[in-house]
Chain A
Amino acid sequence: MTDSQWPVWEVFVQANPGISHKHVGNVHAVDAEMAIQNARDVYTRRSEGISIWVVPANAISASSPEDQGAFFEPSNDKPYRHPTFYKIPEGVKYL
């Protein structure tokens, strides 16, 4: 077996209850259990988290920068999806 630094796992940490897990970096590990422990030791040394997700780095699929235009620009011309698009007369409450 060739020497290696083990596979890469991406680490997501939830800082507080009620908010999303956020990507914080990665660790190297041979399996999920080790990845979780390593993530705990590396990324929560200062009480930064209450929950950890780890995902094998090669299991993540991502959109590509070339797709940026096609993927994300079409939503730029749909301001009517945002509440500020609509003018409501002053004095109307709870809208």
Chain B
Amino acid sequence: MSQRIVVDPITRIEGHLRIEAEIKDGKIEEAYSSGTMVRLIEEILRGRDPRDAWAFVGRVCGVCTSVHSTASVRAVEDALGIIIPPNAEMVRNLMFCAQNIQDHVVHFYHLHALDWVDVVSALKADPKKTSEIAQSISNWPKSSPGYFSDLQKRLTKFVESGQLGIFANGYWGHPAYKLPPEVNLIGVAHYLEALEWQKEIVKVHTIFGGKNPHPNYLVGGMACSISLDDASGINAERLSYVLTVLKQAKEFVEQVYVPDLLAIAPYYLDWGAIGGGLGNYLVYGDLSTTSYREPKNFKFPAGAILNKDLSKIHEVDLRSDNEVQEFISHSWYEYAGGDGVGLHPWKGETKLNYTGPKPPFEHLNVDEKYSFLKTPRWKGHAMEVGPLARVLVGYASGRTDYKEVVDSVLKKLNIPATALISTLGRTAARGVEALLVAQWSLEFYDQLITNIKNGDTRMASTEKFQPDTWPKQAMGVGHNEAPRGALAHWIVIEDQKIANYQLVVPSTWNASPRDKEGKSSAYEAALKDTPIADPNQPLEILRTVHSFDPCLACAVHLYDEEGKHISKVKVL
């Protein structure tokens, strides 16, 4: 006998995602992922000035403002052949690093931890024992028995007042929660500390981007002026503040995030064999130590891995007509050339054609179209993108910085490298990446300072800023490695205006529906075979889906009428 369960919307993500799963003998047999909001940013951009696109795409989401804006200015610069000055490269890298670390920490504590940490159990913790555990895993100073006991009192008051709020949507007491109360209390303490900490790191964006949220970007460089002794621009004082914040970030990752990860993981090692999914990984590459145009210097090397084969890294070409393509055979769109074709984004089309059931409905018809996400493929393969993909490509490329961190995590958890291809591995890879990015950010900072001290204060290249210098037609692609994975924007400029603009975002790669051959994308593949202890409380689905850090806001877009987490179970 099998059951069909529906989780809609998946909460603790940005955007709106629905998962339907068929369960047989306590395991997921088939899963279907549907983006239930529509996105038409492409249509908003058509006909606009390409130099303004960054400001619009920066608004598609509350989380990834800066990575979308970066991809956008890079696409335009690529189309027009603009080379940006070294300072602007470093400033973009620093803003990228700040966002990456902030996002990973926020994801771990605020979006994912509650899948593993039972808040209600934390109320039963012994503060003294909690303190001992905390001090055994890290030198982080906030770890006294008094600190944990104060927090526990506040938490108890909060829970008893009925104001569970942030903690309301949990499956507390679910048998799949395995942590002792003391580790749960550490998790809750750091949930709150992470929140306090993250407000500092985002100031890197305020300083370089002029404002936050939604910092300023500029085609040709960055919209800030740097001079060590300039009172109004970015001067020595502001730069030293950036350094302070970056150092604090490194400290937080090293002393809080990663120790917590390593303290929680041993209780969930079975998840090192669950949720692996596709085994195909795609990375566009990012964070060059010289120029974005020199991929050989990327800290995140580009490449693709197929069938878990780490011995071969395949080259990726975003310009090739038959590498990245988007399909719509299961998506509510139509193409002029019919449903069977795949389109490279430069030829991409965004025409809605909703043929799904009229809400409210019980189930999607998954044999037909069932999502507002298109289905991207690389050379026809379904690919996973994100921190795990980046860590595996870096590791498989033989990079020593990756090898050192990854091997130390594997050794501490006493698990083989193959366990990385799992739900646990995805979550661990994010921590590994945060460690690396925190180290790299200090290198980029040094490079920026050295460059300024050598007398180079150029921040933008303006010679091709005026549209009368542009060719009649130009095409470009701009990519980066957003927190959730490979992100690229493709632009076609005609007569100084945007003629076509396509975003292929990380969650489209991961959360998309099946392709025309019926092949699953990353979420659907990873959910297959996941054990479900209680279909009424499908905590296990949340674990695997959250391990990808879904962010559907840019993949699709609309509102969430009730904002409630609903799961329905139906016996088939």
Q: Do A and B bind each other?
A: no
